[in-house]
Amino acid sequence: MIYGLLQVWELIKDEHIHYYLIFFLWVWVVWLIKFGFAKRYRVKYTQDYQTSVSVIIPTYNEDPDLFKDALQSTVDNNPDEIIIVFDSPNENLEEIARSFPKVKTIIIPKNGKRTAFATGLVNATGEIIILKDSDTILPKDCIRELIKPFIDPKVGGVTPRIHIFNPDDNWIRRITEWIHDQRDHFAASAQGSISTVACLPGPTCAFRRKIILGSLNQFLNEKFMGTTCETGDDRSLTNITLKQGYQTVFQKTAIVYTDSQNRFLNFWRQQIRWARSSQKYTLMSLSWMFKKPKFFAFYLLSDLIAPFFYVAVLIVSLLNLIFRLDTFTLVQGTILGTLWFALISGFIGINFSFGVRQLSHLRRKKADIFWLPIYLLVVNFILIPVRILGFFTMTNQQWMTR
């Protein structure tokens, strides 16, 4: 932060702008715009909507206890229909499923999540389809809240708030919960404020059946640069909905609880999978994203470019360090000019700048202030670089965590 001030000082004194300062300003301007939109978000739909609802749960290798609890919570929500599609037979889980009288089970040979979902879809009868992961728990009245927006015929898809259950069990769960909390209160809120949410995430999302049914072939045989799309089914469904002119909305009053990775390796794999499909689908939506509100394209494209800018700033800083370019003439020869001071004060400064942007989260979860440096490191050294890696390997289709 001291360096930030120094940079401003040099800007005024020497009329020289540091690259990092440009990056810093860019981050803040983009953030402020997005934040402004997120602040404008209001829950629009509060009236109950009476309709028929089918819940489809594609299932593959789940922990039996969690599977049972999650299923029980769904049954308690009392939808019209629950269809479990087993992607390859699993006797243990099938038995649990059969113990719930209302639940339909379909077993298919192992063919991927998309096929499992499609199989459920063609067998479903409800006007609204809820796609739910087998590890996601729905609290009471969750479905009732979730389908409220469909009272508006323009709405094609809805996403709830997504939380991690037992977030304090280990640091990965804690960080994952933080990431989800940010997604809810920032990304989903900002995009929700213009009723154009770019991704209705897989743990739980609701669609109008007719929209997906009309594009089922596209959904199943989607290709990107000649490779069949396997992962990113949630982004795909969202794209189909948006492309047909429907709105996708964020219903903050509906909350679901889902499981998280517990091991770092799996966390990493999940992140790279998300990075791949997120950027891939952003590119695929290039042809129509500008027909949506401008903020939508701004959001997606700034997210696409940001990691490149960030990594470039890191590289430039390193180059400057090696070649002694772009130094601070004002502090040369004082303790302020030493590398250690730069690194430490820089880290504190970044924490501060970052912390301000995380204030709303920290207010919701005060204990996380101690985790801020960890979260910062995860974001800066995993979440952002992984997007670059994802960009160059975006045709890779492995689930890796399934």
Give me the residues that bind other proteins (CB under 8 A), please.
14, 16-19, 22, 112, 225-228, 230, 283, 305, 308-309, 311-313, 315-316, 319-320, 323-327, 329, 332-333, 337, 388, 391-392, 394-395, 397-398
What's phi and psi for 401, nearest 5 deg?
-110, -5
Closer by beta carbon to other proteins, 170 or else 327: 327
Q: Which is nearer to other proteins, 321 or 343 (CB)?
A: 321
Minimum distance of other proteins from residue 2's CB (angstroms): 19
Look at residues 235, 58, 54, 219 and name the one whose alpha carbon lies nearest to residue 133: 58
Max CA separation in the chain (angstroms): 78
CB of 397 to other proteins, least distance (A): 5
Q: Cβ 202 to other proteins, closest distance in Å? A: 17
Return the number of the residue (49 or 224) whose C-beta is nearest other proteins.
224
Find, among 192, 297, 293, 324, the residue nearest to 252 by Cα: 192
Q: How far is the CB of 321 from other proteins (least distance, A)?
A: 11
Least Å distance between CB 323 and other proteins? 5
Report the nearest approach of other proteins to the CB of residue 233 (Å): 13
**Rounded CA gap, 140 and 145, in Å?**
10
Q: Which residue has the tokens 């009868």?
A: 125
Alpha helices in 158-197 (DSSP H): 171-182, 189-192
CA 314, 318, 321, 323 torsion: positive or negative?
Answer: negative
Give the three-state DSSP class for 320. Answer: helix
CA distance 52 to 208: 11
The letter for the amino acid at 378 is: V
Closest distance to other proteins from the beta carbon of 332 (Å): 5
**Residue 162 or residue 386: which is nearer to other proteins going by CB?**
386
Q: What are the tokens at 316? A: 């430039």
CB of 62 to other proteins, least distance (A): 20
List the structure tokens of 276: 């791949």
Q: Are 257 and 167 in contact (CB under 8 A)?
A: no
Rounded to whole angstroms, how far apart are CA atoms 283 and 168? 36
Which C-beta is closer to other proteins: that of 47 or that of 287? Answer: 287
Give the residue among 188, 179, 190, 168 at the shortest CA–CA distance from 379: 179
Q: Considering beta carbons, is residue 231 or 247 the nearer one to other proteins?
A: 231
